[in-house]
Amino acid sequence: MQLSGTLVNIFEEGEGRKKRLVATLYDDTGRIELVWFQGAQWLKKSLKENEQYIVFGKVAVFNGIINLPHPEVELWSTATAVAGLQPMYPTTEKLKARGVTNRSFAKLTQSLFEKIKPGDIPEILPAEIIREYQLCSRAAALKWIHFPDSEEHMQLAKYRLKWEELFISQLTIARIRLQHTIQPGWKFEKVAEHFNDFFNKHLPFQLTNAQKRVLKEIRIDTVTGKQMNRLLQGDVGSGKTIVAVMAMLLAMDNGFQACIMAPTEILAQQHYQSISSLLEGMNIHVRLLTGNIKGKERKEILQGLADGSTPIAIGTHALIEESVQFKNLGLAVIDEQHRFGVGQRARLWKKNDKAPHVLVMTATPIPRTLAMTLYGDLDISVIDELPPGRQEIKTVHRIDMNRARVMEFMKTEINKGRQAYIVYPLIEESEKSDYESLLAGYEQVKVWFPEDKYRIAMVHGRQESALRQRNMQRFVSGDAQILVATTVIEVGVNVPNASVMLVESAERFGLSQLHQLRGRVGRGADQSYCILLTGNKLSNESKQRMQIMTSTTNGFIIAEKDLEMRGPGDLYGTKQSGLLKFKIADLVHDTAILEQSRNAAKQVIEKDPGLIYPQHQPLKHILLQQSKQSHWSKIS
């Protein structure tokens, strides 16, 4: 808020750290109190009573009284007034102490605009887009975002700059999509014996309509002669693996090999076991390749992949080693792709003359606006139905006072022959204390579940890999009834007999993470439970998260809520990836603008794929400046 008036009643009050300088600013319309907690003595000497000042600051309310804490003040006689609405610039207390205030930023910017001549700010959007979407000019937007002469002009400036920012991002994505559609791919023309035999004789349950829809989309993609790049989203337990298996059988029917790359050895082993079980009796050679497989067995696997006698390979990063050569790789399935670096995925492309078709699977539901930005270059399929026979997981929130009841309930479930997870938070900033809490928690669990009656395993990131794998395997095999763990078990672990997930200090987890943890249970036919155990006192935001988790198991609703609460920068590591560094656009609130800009970008690329028309040259120039990482653009 920017005000002008007469400064009176300048005095200090309070003692020691609570000492502050107080003054009153008044004019004909009223008065407001100004308060400074720092630099009080210096300010007291420099401020003059009964003089006219221009004051700028953020309004606050203390004890029911409106005031301006730490405002910037300037004598009216020496001030160069910045007319209209006052811009807010990011600054720090150190800068302010050196006289670099919000007003000095504003004055500097104002003097720059005075030096700008007409034509110095070129237009980059084509005239037809500006007309169609009723956008103000770029020059006007930049002037009005700093110094609007009305609320309407400020809104027009914001709208134009958000639109432009989202349009440029969608134009980049549209060009990458174009590269995908012209990238040659293998043709899967036949649906033959392997696919049909599995569908008619070996399918363990009837496919859901969502699974059938996704298979149809994959079938259409792989028959075109262009490379498929498809993202398959499906909530935990929705049946993505069956879809991947049937896509691999389609590749086999057309004389190609297929592979699945998983981020961890445990997940690769689970894929291997479930896929081998699904294909039992079909005489299909499936092999598992991980870093731990060595010697004669490894030699045999590599030989089978090179001569084509092994049509399906399942593995970890070991699949992309140079020593691994396929005779004819036609389909690569990448599970939980965010766990792999782009460079790692790129190495799969060199396993054949033409790039294989790519099916990227994720159990992390991605809100639509985020998917359009993060994965806009991929075709997206969604499995939004659970297979028949799966029961919805019952989720409850309990506070520490109820711990005894929670433990008794877990005993009841374990005594029925079930298994249980107990998960502790592990946050980087407080890793040492979290680790100590985990070890203390483990000792506490042994008190509730004595080792002479119950078998407990523990898994965490500080363990040596071999010990962690061994403990995990004890739980997977059923040897351990309780797994005490950090979030290392978040993705991929499949133990159908586990029916209870207890999340300790659940208030410290984000919504998407809680949903992923919950998805570790409910994978069998038995009723499963997720218990969110928190401290007795919760912040409003933590209460809201607990309420959302107990009211829905729909991952997409949860992902949308998570996006609303945390913002796109904190989700999926995008803050680090640099993918969503928008200066003014907001993916939570600007969905309508995103839709518009996406449609406009599609139209531009359809009309002028190479951006060679004169009206598209400024856009081409901007995209060239942003294309330093474009050598990854063909990779999902």
| Structure tokens, 341 | 């670096």
- How does pLDDT run across 207-263, given as a tens digit for each residue? 999 999 999 999 999 998 888 888 898 877 788 999 999 999 999 999 999 999 988
Q: Which pLDDT score, from 0 to 100, does residue 629 have? A: 47
| Structure tokens, 26 | 């008044």
Distance between CA atoms of 460 and 442, rounded to whole angstroms? 11
Q: Is the dihedral of CA 107, 112, 114, 119 positive or negative?
A: negative
Q: Which pLDDT score, from 0 to 100, does residue 429 have? A: 44
Distance between CA atoms of 473 and 485, rounded to whole angstroms? 13
- How does pLDDT run across 107-148, given as a tens digit for each residue? 788 888 888 887 889 999 999 999 999 999 999 999 999 888
Q: What is the mean pLDDT of residues 369-384?
A: 78
Q: What is the mean pLDDT of residues 363-383?
A: 77
Q: Strand, helix or coil at 334?
A: strand
Distance between CA atoms of 167 and 595, rounded to whole angstroms? 9
Q: Which pLDDT score, from 0 to 100, does residue 345 have? A: 57
The CATH number for 9's domain is: 2.40.50.140
Q: What is the mean pLDDT of residues 390-400?
A: 91
Residue 63 forms part of a structural domain? yes
Distance between CA atoms of 557 and 395, rounded to whole angstroms? 15
Residue 51 forms part of a structural domain? yes
Residue 576 pLDDT class (50, 70, 90 cuts): very low
Range with top average pLDDT, 84-93, 357-366, 374-383, 404-413: 404-413
Q: Strand, helix or coil at 66?
A: strand
Residue 38 forms part of a structural domain? yes
Residue 275 forms part of a structural domain? no
Please provide the average confidence, as pLDDT, over all residues in the chain. Answer: 85
Distance between CA atoms of 79 and 56, rounded to whole angstroms? 12
Of 93, 118, 142, which residue is a domain's last?
93
Number of other CB atoms surrounding residue 636 within 10 Å: 20
- Please give the backbone phi and psi of residue 203, each rounded to the nearest 5 degrees, phi first: -65, 120
Q: Which pLDDT score, from 0 to 100, does residue 343 have? A: 57
Residue 228 forms part of a structural domain? no
CB under 8 Å to 307, separation ≥6 — which residues?
327
Q: Which pLDDT score, from 0 to 100, does residue 633 have? A: 44
Count structural domains, the chain: 2
Closest Cα to residue 553, out of 364, 393, 384? 393
Distance between CA atoms of 215 and 244, rounded to whole angstroms? 9
Closest Cα to residue 2, out of 32, 41, 37? 32
Distance between CA atoms of 356 and 352, rounded to whole angstroms? 7
Q: Which pLDDT score, from 0 to 100, does residue 573 have? A: 46
The CATH number for 520's domain is: 3.40.50.300
Distance between CA atoms of 446 and 319, rounded to whole angstroms? 40
Q: Strand, helix or coil at 379?
A: strand
Which residue range(s) make up the domain with 75?
2-93
CA neighbours closer than 13 Å in the CB half-sphere of residue 93: 5
Report the percentage of the chain scoring pLDDT > 90.
42
Q: Which pLDDT score, from 0 to 100, does residue 618 have? A: 92
Q: Which pLDDT score, from 0 to 100, does residue 309 have? A: 95
Checking if the pLDDT of 552 tops 60, the result is yes
Residue 59 forms part of a structural domain? yes
Contact 4, 34 (CB under 8 A): no
| Structure tokens, 232 | 């398959």
Contact 361, 334 (CB under 8 A): yes
Q: Which pLDDT score, from 0 to 100, does residue 339 have? A: 55
Of 552, 584, 610, which residue is a domain's last?
552
Of 53, 70, 93, which residue is a domain's last?
93
Distance between CA atoms of 233 and 337, rounded to whole angstroms? 11
Residue 357 forms part of a structural domain? no
Q: Which pLDDT score, from 0 to 100, does residue 630 have? A: 46
Residue 82 pLDDT class (50, 70, 90 cuts): low
Residue 169 forms part of a structural domain? no
- How does pLDDT run across 44-71, given as a tens digit for each residue? 888 888 888 888 888 888 877 888 888 8
Lowest-confidence pick of 34-48, 393-407, 587-601: 34-48
Q: Which pLDDT score, from 0 to 100, does residue 579 have? A: 47
Three-state SS letters, 133-156: CCCCCHHHHHHHHHCCCCHHHHHH
- How does pLDDT run across 65-76, given as a tens digit for each residue? 888 888 878 777
Checking if the pLDDT of 158 tops 90, the result is yes
Lowest-confidence pick of 9-23, 38-52, 573-587, 617-631: 573-587
CB under 8 Å to 627, separation ≥6 — which residues?
none
Q: What is the mean pLDDT of residues 418-429?
A: 80
| Structure tokens, 610 | 């190479």
Q: Which pLDDT score, from 0 to 100, does residue 96 have? A: 64
Give 285-314 as a DSSP string.
-EEEE-TT--HHHHHHHHHHHHHTS--EEE
Contact 407, 447 (CB under 8 A): no
